[in-house]
Structure 1
Amino acid sequence: MKRNLTPVYYGDYLQLDKILGAQSLESTRYGETAHDEMLFIIVHQVYELWFKQVLHELNAVIDIFNQEEVKDQQLITVVHRLHRIIQIQQLMNDQISVMETMTPQQFLAFRDYLVPASGFQSIQFKRLEISLGLKREFRIDFDKQSFYNRLSEQDRALLENLEKKPSLFELIENWLARMPLLKRDQFDFWQHYKAATDTLLDNDKKTIYQNDTLTEKEKQQELRDWQSTRDNFDALFDTQKYADLTEQGTFRLSQQAMLSALFIKQYSEEPIFNLPFQLITALTDIDEKLTIWRYRHAMMVQRMLGTKIGTGGSSGHHYLKKTTESNRIFVDFFNMATFLLPKEMLPELPDSIRKYLGFYLGQN
């Protein structure tokens, strides 16, 4: 049956009258218009449009993982949507170069008119951070104290409500934790893994002792670093040690989720682990792109303001640099490389294990 479709006009469909008429320059209100304020507004408006699209993709992914079962077909969709987010992040990172065509003096021509407006007040960006897993308790101290400052009551209520909902990090953690430990049918992967890592670490320690190019002071530092790595390995299979290191901030994933993710990465070339591995990789890429965005933003602010405070009252460049180092979400996926074994040291997966995991991953 043929439907009667209403003709659509390009400008009306995109509502260009609203978008292109949404640039109101503050500098014009006080005297001579600052030419570069138009660039400043448009760049930030484009950021907000991309934030909206990222949230659209991210919320769809969260909805999928907020179910009891996540099937292969759904994982394909999830990975596709996460890859789209990564491409958008790349555009946002590149967009900083456009902003950097503005000189510090061109920015100073209108900067004071913007006080106390600040990137702190980007509700969409805060929603993005919270939805990914950067809730208030994981933020740096300045953020914990000021996260909801300078927000309207309505926006504050929206974010506080979002904090109560499961983030993507929490949902992924739960999904990973549901995977059973590989100790079945006379096959004990973790027993083999512990033996292999003991060998690797013992060899590393011998290498340090036998390295004649190191001074005694350097050798002692290398040995302290080795011991720290040894402690982290030991904690993988010791509930109390793992809990202690989690309390110290070494780990964020639960012990069970960490072991499951580690197993997936160890056997990433197995067909049954292809999609889970792509998922972990995509989340790692998203965290990396977000960290790069923070870093480039911090560098841009330093170029524009030096050590001046930000328009919203933060310490400007210093604050942004600290968020780059501290406000990470999926950092466990980065650090997991510490625990990976060379392929030749991995035991072959028995057919019974492949069938078992194939059934399990197809059901959950």
Structure 2
Amino acid sequence: MKVPTKPWTLLYKIQQEVLPDTRHFLNEWRKKATKIPNDELRKQALSSIKEKAFHCEGGAVYGLLAGNECRKIIRFIVAYQTISDYLDNLCDRSTSLEERDFRMLHQSMHHALTPGKQPENYYQYRNDQDDGGYLSSLVLTCQDVLKDLPGFQNAQEAMHQLAGYYCDLQVFKHVEKNKRVELLENWFAGHKHEVPAMTWYEFSACAGSTLGIFCFAAYASHGLKIEEVNLLKNGYFPWVQGLHIMLDYFIDQKEDREEDDLNFIFCYENEEKMVQRIKYFKEKAEESIRSLPDWKFHQLINKGLIAIYLADKKVQEDKKLKRTAKRFIRFGGMPTLFFYLNSWLYRQGQA
């Protein structure tokens, strides 16, 4: 199967191949979530699938890099992203603010990347316990896909490194409000030598994406040489992942203000500085993508990501955000405008 390199062929394949499989797997997890015995865990599992399905739909596009193994990789991506979204809900609207609780929950994301590792009681440090095997099933599904991929052994360490960044971020940003920034600053101090010059909040954004992990899984499906691993990792981390999460925070500003949640966009001294830095991240992301195999596909995904976020109803319903979003679309160029219009029409059809 040929990897799409044009906006219209990519959209066609997403509609015909990616979305039907993604929705099939999501529906299976939704059914399983309805049977969770504990009220709070069931509520958060169902809410994460309902509110964040577009994370799975966006991530599953990486299945197109896997050729005949596309469906298998989509199965992994949906399961792994569902863990991520579920845990984000459990930590965001948490009945706990304990670091050890959040760290234990996120062990599941490392175990999901470790075929043969038996799931543990990830809820051991919280009151809500019985999920009827929901989280363990997600972990085992990820393991089941990864264990058969010919290139997984070469990719595994890099996938764990990206998962490590992600899990640390989720732990530190969800503890007690007065501890968050200091923990994140100290964490960044230990890692700043690994990335180009940036702030602690920009590094945190780079850590908060699962795209690099999905990219590795897709390429591992048809063998992955050791020398290609660093190429892929540097292609996605930090710039592509950073751009992805900056946009995520950009569209969440209103609700994060209302909920008093930490939003990295609020850390910029003014809007102009924020727009400049997001533009810079977008330029650096395009530069790093150029070194990747199938770079035209990755470039389309990057432009499509900008469009998907900017077509979100949170942006469309907020005049100030919409005005800034138009600037982002302009520096994304014609493919971004094309994806933006398609995303907007798609969301109108869902409304």
TM-score (norm. length: structure 1): 0.26
**Structure having the higher Rg:** 1
Judging by fraction of residues, say which structure has more helix: 2
Higher relative contact order (CA 8 A, sep 6+): 1
TM-score (norm. length: structure 2): 0.26
